[in-house]
């Protein structure tokens, strides 16, 4: 495996570790481990503990064990697809973006497997207006990775060296 793929795997591991550490810190030392327990950090940002039993935007809530494990299986299959894509990808920015997605997915899969829900805690708001639902490091990494992939797919044209066309010999003997 070449250096670029190791970079993607390193990004995934770092995102996973940062995600798990922040969730531990918020729910452990800071004591925000009861639904909607909160702490103001800045006028526009706070920490608020939320048990997310669904997937993105709270969709597909896992109301029972069968649905919980179905979500684990679905997200694990997606993470496996992202890993496969990352190992095949040839462009470094895309490998890094896929590493962000993979690390975030693994962090949320571990939560859902261990706890039955995903720990969300980051609450960005401007007065009463909340442009995002409460999220976590994994969610942010997944979002950033997907945005990078979309921007690159839509707006970036990677140029590859095109070999010059063969020149015919002008003098025919």
Tell me the C-alpha distance between 33 and 127, whole Å: 24
Segment 109-116 mean pLDDT: 95
Catalytic residue list contains 94: no
Instruction: Say yes or no to pLDDT of 111 above 90.
Output: yes
107, 14 Cβ separation under 8 angstroms: no
Catalytic residue list contains 120: yes
Set 65, 120, 123, 158: catalytic member: 120
Q: Where are the domains of the chain?
A: 3-31+47-155
Residue 38 neighbours by CB under 8 Å, 6+ apart? 32, 46, 47, 48, 49, 123
Tell me the C-alpha distance between 84 and 1, whole Å: 13
Q: What is the pLDDT of residues 5-33, one digit of tens each?
A: 899 999 999 999 999 999 999 999 999 99
136, 119 Cβ separation under 8 angstroms: yes
Q: Average per-residue pLDDT in the chain?
A: 90
Q: Could you tell me which of 125, 139, 106, 122 has the C-alpha nearest to residue 50? A: 122
Predicted TM-score (pTM) of this structure: 0.85
Set 19, 94, 111, 139: catalytic member: 139
């Amino acid at each position: 495996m070449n250096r670029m793929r190791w970079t993607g795997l390193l990004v995934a591991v770092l995102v996973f570790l940062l995600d798990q550490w922040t969730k531990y810190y918020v729910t452990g030392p800071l004591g925000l481990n009861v639904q909607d327990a909160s702490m103001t950090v800045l006028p526009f940002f706070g920490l608020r503990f939320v048990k997310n039993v669904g997937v993105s935007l709270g969709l597909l809530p896992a109301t029972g064990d069968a649905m919980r494990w179905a979500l684990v299986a679905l997200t694990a299959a997606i993470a496996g697809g992202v890993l496969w894509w990352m190992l095949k990808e040839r462009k470094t920015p895309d490998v890094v973006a896929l590493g962000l997605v993979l690390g975030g997915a693994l962090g949320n899969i571990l939560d859902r497997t261990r706890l039955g829900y995903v720990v969300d805690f980051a609450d960005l708001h401007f007065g009463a207006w909340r442009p995002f639902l409460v999220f976590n490091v994994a969610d942010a990494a997944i979002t950033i990775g997907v945005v990078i992939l979309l921007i690159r797919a839509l707006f970036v044209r990677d140029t590859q060296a095109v070999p010059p066309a063969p020149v015919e010999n002008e003098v025919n003997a």
